[in-house]
Amino acid sequence: MGKNVVVLGTQWGDEGKGKIVDLLTDQAAAVVRYQGGHNAGHTLVVGGEKTVLHLIPSGILRQNVLNL
């Protein structure tokens, strides 16, 4: 049976959710992101390359991860 992990923010502003999700995506089959609009952004470093995201899921930089 699979396992689901939810990262939920309860405050406005930077809580570090993007960094946590990036760490978890290495072992994830899918990443689902829901929010009403863009955010302040989160910075990911994958394969030594730095990328800043605002709207798309953190898992988008992982080849074998479904992003919704």
Is 22 in the active site? no
pLDDT reported for residue 39: 66
Q: Are 18 and 29 in contact (CB under 8 A)?
A: no
Q: Are 59 and 65 in contact (CB under 8 A)?
A: yes
**Which residue among the candidates 14, 22, 26, 38 is catalytic per the annotation?**
14
* Percentage with pLDDT > 90 across the chain: 0
Is 42 in the active site? yes
32: amino acid identity, one letter? V
Least confident span in 10-19, 31-40, 54-63: 31-40
pLDDT reported for residue 3: 86
Distance CA 52, CA 41 (A): 6
DSSP conformational letter for 18: H
pLDDT at 1 over 60: no
**Which residue among the candidates 22, 26, 38, 42 is catalytic per the annotation?**
42
| All structural domains of the chain with their residue ranges | 17-67
pLDDT reported for residue 37: 66
- Choose among 13, 24, 35: nearest CA to 62: 24
